[in-house]
């Protein structure tokens, strides 16, 4: 069965690294790709974040309509905006999983993130993440089948 993995976690929590190590043969949609040039250099432009997410939606949409076997949505995905992706994937016949990364402190996330996300933004993201998934996040990577709500192994 075709699968979509929606990465969920703070900046610096290891989402991209985990996906690269565990889902090697996947098609990846990420807003970060918008800010990465052909040499792999990342240059974030805050005023263009809306364009980056619009492009990410377009790329994700293309992957699922082309029936790619494994698709990864590699954004922070800390709030309810991910529902659009989950619904589209389900409607296109994909089994959808959320991959919850370990919950870092805001300070650790700030120190580890390579995108320059400000500490105050990370604090807001962390609060949102905890309110969206109360009691769910811990020190381990957890994978949840969205349809059943059960946790599974990769």
**pLDDT tens digits along 88-127:** 999 999 999 999 999 999 999 999 988 888 999 999 999 9
Tokens at 127, concatenated:
């609060």
Confidence class for position 58, pLDDT limits 50, 70, 90? very high
Question: For residue 44, what is the domain's CATH number?
Answer: 3.40.50.300
Per the structure, the count of domains in the chain is 1
C-alpha to C-alpha distance for 68 and 25, rounded to whole angstroms: 10
pTM here is 0.94
Burial 86-118 (b: 16+ CB within 10 A, else e): bebbeebebbbbbbbbbbbebeebbeebeeebe
User: In which domain, by residue range, is 131 found?
Assistant: 3-152
């Amino acid at each position: 069965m075709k699968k979509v993995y929606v990465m969920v976690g703070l900046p610096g929590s290891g989402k991209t690294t985990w996906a690269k190590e565990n889902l090697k043969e996947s098609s990846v949609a990420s807003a970060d790709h918008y800010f990465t040039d052909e040499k792999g250099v990342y240059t974030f432009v805050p005023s263009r974040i809306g364009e980056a997410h619009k492009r990410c939606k377009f790329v994700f949409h293309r992957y699922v309509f082309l029936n790619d076997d494994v698709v990864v949505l590699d954004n922070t995905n800390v709030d309810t905006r991910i529902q659009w992706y989950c619904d589209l994937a389900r409607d296109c016949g994909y089994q959808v999983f959320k991959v919850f990364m370990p919950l870092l402190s805001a300070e650790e996330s700030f120190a580890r993130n390579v995108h320059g996300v400000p500490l105050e933004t990370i604090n807001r993201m962390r609060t949102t993440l905890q309110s969206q998934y109360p009691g769910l996040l811990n020190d381990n990577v957890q994978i949840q089948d969205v349809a059943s709500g059960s946790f599974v192994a990769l």
